[in-house]
Structure 1
Amino acid sequence: MVHTHNNNFEGLLEKHHLKKTGPRLKVLSMLSAKNVATSQPDLESVMSDIDRVTLYRILSAFEEKGIIHKVFDLNGTANYAMCSSGCGEDHHHDEHLHFNCTNCKNVYCLDELNLPPIKLPKGFKPEGFTLYATGLCPKCSKTA
C-alpha cells in the first residue's frame, strides 16, 4: 500500500515539475495521512531526519505549486493541509470552512462546506478567501 502512495506522490511531484526526493515524498506521506492540518513544528517533531530549513523549503515549494495550502490556527501558527486536485500554481481552491477546535487545537479542512460566491466592490481583486469557525470537534464534543 505504501508503494502505491509513493507512486502517486511521485506522479504529483512530476506533475508540478519538482524533483522526487526522499524528504519531499516523506512530507507528502505525512500530510496526506492526517485528517487535520499540521504545523511545521509538528512535522519537525516526527521527521528528525529533515532539518528545519529543508522542511521550510519543501512546504514553501508545495504551497507555491498548489499541492498544499496554508491555514492558521487560533494562535496564528501556520498549518498545512493537502490541496484538492483542482488547485494549481496560479490559484488555490481552498475556499472551504476551516474549523479550529478550541479544546484539542486541531485545525480541520471541511472541504464539503464551500464558501458561497462573494462579489467584491469594484476595484477589489481578491487573491483568496478564508472562512474560519471555532468550537469543539466531534471527538472533543463527545468528551465534553
Structure 2
Amino acid sequence: MLQNLDRLLQEKHIRPTAMRLLVLDFLKSQRAAVSLNDLETAFHRSDRITLYRTLKTFEEKGLVHPIADGTGSVKFALCAGDCQTENHQDLHVHFHCSKCAETYCLPTTRIPEVSIPTDFAAEEVSLIVKGICGSCIPENAMQLQAKEQ
C-alpha cells in the first residue's frame, strides 16, 4: 500500500516525504472532501503550515482539486487520474449536504458545457449542488415518520 502511495507521488513529480505519504493515505480513505481544519484534527501533532503546504503542492501537481462549497472553508478531494500540473481536468459536480455539512465529488456527473459570450474568457467552472446526502436521508425520513405518528 505504502509503495502505491509512493509511486503515485513520484508519478506526479512530488517528492514522497513521510507527511505527504500520511496526508495522501488520509485523503484516499475519505468519502468526502476535507478542509485544512479536518487535516489538523486528524494530524493534531502536525504543523498547520506543513499541512497547508502539502495540500498546495498536491493541488499544483494535479493530485487534489479545491472545492469552494459556499461554507467559507475550501475543501480538497483527490483528482481523477487525468489531472496534470495546474491543469485540472476533473470537471464534475460537487454535492454539499446541508444536514451533515460534508462535500462530495460526483465524478460521473459532469458539468454541462456553458455557453458564454465570445468576448468573455472562462478560467474556472464549478457546480455545487446543495441538498441532503444519501447518508442523511434515512435519518430525515425516520424523523418525519415519528412526527406523523
Q: TM-score, normalised by structure 2?
A: 0.88
Match of 1:63 among 59, 78, 93: 59
Residue 53 (structure 1) aligns with: 49
8 Å CA contact 2:92–2:106 kept in 1: the answer is yes
Greater shift after overlay, 58-67 or 120-129?
A: 120-129
| Counterpart in the other structure of 1:135 | 131
Q: For this pair of structures, how many residues does the alignment match?
A: 140
- 1:36 paired with 2:32, answer yes
**Aligned residue type for 2:22:** K
Gaps of 5+ in 2: 141-149
Structure 1 distance, partners of 2:90, 2:73, is 18
Q: Is the 8 A contact 2:27 2:78 kept in 1?
A: yes
1:76 has 2:72 as partner: yes
- TM normalised by structure 1 equals 0.91
SS of corresponding position for 1:55: helix
1:17-48 per-residue CA deviation (whole Å, 9 max, x = no partner) reads 22110100000000111110001101111112
Q: Give every structure 1 segment of 4 or more consecutive aligned residues whose post-TM-superposition deviation is greater than 4 Å.
A: none
- Match runs of 1:10-25 below 5 Å: 10-25=6-21
Report sequence identity in percent.
36
Larger Rg: 2
Looking at structure 1, the residues matched to 109 and 46 of structure 2 have their Cα atoms a distance apart, in angstroms, of: 34
Q: Determine if contact 1:92/1:128 at 8 Å carries over to the other structure.
A: no
Which runs of 5 or more residues in structure 1 are unaligned? none
CA distance in 1, matches of 2:13, 2:120: 32
